[in-house]
Every structure is written in structure tokens, then in C-alpha cells.
Amino acid sequence: MAVDLTPEDRATVEGNRKSPRPQYFSAAQSEQQQISEDFEAFIILQDKAVIEETLQWLGQAGGLMETRVDRNGVTLEAVAADIDDRSTRQSEVDDIVQGFTDWKAAFQAGNFSDVSEVGLIIADAQATAEELFVFQERMKHLEQMHQRITERLRQSVSSAQLNQLLSWPTPLLAY
């Protein structure tokens, strides 16, 4: 045993050991694993109220984990709809911005660049375009957010993780 125990705790643990020790499902190994001697000592020395609270939380967590896959699927559908909407809006704005860019390139004031109305037209057109440039940046930001959200939602809970979580009551209730 790697954990140092007081003589009293050691006596309590030795008097309550099980042979064989209880098992839990290991998600990493995808099979039942016997609990370690140290974990067995940990369980034996825990207050029964703490064990009961742990079991209650594990039960609640198991229920939440079981529904996570379903929630993720629904959320992915909603995010996909947002992505389609964003993509449509971004395409429309990109077309408008391209039109502005083309207009600005074609609009040549030449000898009339000092005429105040020419400057006003350019300033007014530019002011409207600035809003579109900001909108484009927001759409790029939303695209990055959607990618991260989608990646996170696709990292679903595996059945092995769920099985491991649901297996903890076995060793906890053995003592």
C-alpha cells in the first residue's frame, strides 16, 4: 500500500478488506478492473454520509451524462441552422462589399477631386461600407465560434465513459 496510514486506520482497513476487491468498469481499458488497495482503504475510511452523498451525485451525473448525447444532437441541429443563416447573410454582404469595392475602383475623381461634393459622395459611400466591413468581421468571428461549438458538441460521451460512471456504486457499496 502506497498511502501511509495511522495504526488505527490500518487496523480498520485490514479488518474490512474484501477478497477479491470489488470492480469498476474502466473506460480506458474497456473492461472491469479491480479497485486498488489504496482506493479500497479510501472507501473503508470514508464517512458513510460522504459515501451516500457521492452515490447520490453519481446517480444524478449518470442521468445527465445519458441525456448529453441527445442534447448535443439537438444543439448541433440548431448550430447548423445558425451556420446556414450566417453563411447566407455573409454571402449577401460579401456581394455588396464587392460591389462597393468595384465602384470605388471605378470612381475616378481625376481633376475633380477637390470638388467638395465629390468628397461628400465618397465619404457617404465609405461610411455605409464601413458598417458592412464591421459586419464581415462579425461574421468571421461567428464562423470561428460555430466551428469551436461544433467541435465541442461532437466530442460526445462514449458508452465506456458512461459505463465507468455507472459502475462506481459497486465498490462504494461493498463496504
Give the number of domains in the chain: 1
Please check whether residue 2 lies inside any domain of the structure.
no
Please check whether residue 84 lies inside any domain of the structure.
yes
Other residues' Cβ atoms within 10 Å of the Cβ of residue 80? 12
Supply the pLDDT for residue 162: 84
Question: Which secondary-structure segment (H or E) carries 157?
Answer: none
Q: Which domain holds residue 38?
A: 7-173
Q: What SS3 state is found at 172?
A: helix
Please check whether residue 104 lies inside any domain of the structure.
yes
Please check whether residue 1 lies inside any domain of the structure.
no
Average pLDDT per 10 consecutive residues for the chain, totaling 175 residues: 89 96 95 96 96 95 76 82 90 94 92 92 91 92 89 75 92 94
Supply the pLDDT for residue 69: 64
Q: Are 90 and 139 in contact (CB under 8 A)?
A: yes
Supply the pLDDT for residue 156: 67
Per DSSP (E only), the strands in the chain are: 23-26, 31-34
Supply the pLDDT for residue 153: 77
How many CA atoms, within 13 angstroms, populate the side-chain half-sphere of residue 104? 15
Q: Whole-prediction pTM value? A: 0.53
Residue 102 CA to residue 123 CA, distance in Å, equals: 16
